[in-house]
Amino acid sequence: MLIRVALWLFLLCLPIFLLAKALLIFTFFVIASFAMKGAIFLMFAAFSLFIFSGMVFVFKNLWQTFQQYFSPEQHQKRKILFTENQKTNRQRLLHFQRLQLDYFKERQRKKILEQNNIKHINALSGAIERDLKRIKAQISDEYFSQLELENHRYRVQQNEKALLELHQKIATIAGK
């Protein structure tokens, strides 16, 4: 309503400006100055009313927004959303903690498995050395040193298949 009044006041001041201009052309300076002052006053009143109505509209909307925001229903909705958000965050945290625990358990299992493999490879290499010393008299010195070198190389490489084959080869030599 206020915006319509402001618009009509602005539209009314335009013909008055034109009238003042026409009066200036016909040299009616006193009446033209009064018309010009009246038109300026109407334009100022129109813009003031327009700004005032805009401010009233903004403050009215702000007041309604504040009332809605601080209403008991909105408070309950925010409280429920906050609780749901916390629940979701806790579930995510639990999920990632489980992933982290699984990762560290798997890492620890692999480390223990690796240590166990090293221990068994060293034990197999020791058994091969004992078998080699036992059959040293049955084989040549070159072949003995070649078998000893293979044993050492396979133990350093952690090659358990090759160590088992070497152990089988020595066992067949010892069986002859």
Tens-place pLDDT, residues 120-174:
999 999 999 999 998 888 888 898 899 999 999 999 999 999 999 999 998 888 7
Look at residue 78 and tell me if it is in a domain: no
Does residue 66 sit in the same domain as residue 113? no
**Which residue, of 70, 90, 121, is where some domain finishes?**
70
- pTM greater than the 0.75 cutoff: no
- Residue 8's pLDDT is what? 81
Question: What is the domain range of residue 50?
Answer: 2-70
Tell me how far apart the alpha carbons of residues 40 and 155 are, in angstroms, rounded to a whole number.
Answer: 105
Structure confidence at residue 103 as a pLDDT band (50, 70, 90) = very high
Nearest by Cα to 143 from 126, 161, 135: 135
State the DSSP H helix or E strand holding residue 45, giving kind and residue range, or none if neither. Answer: helix 29-69
Could you give the number of structural domains in the chain? 2
What does the radius of gyration of the chain's CA atoms come to, in whole angstroms? 50
Helix-helix angle 72-134:141-157, to 10 degrees: 170
- 32-56 confidence digits (pLDDT tens): 888 888 888 888 888 888 889 889 9
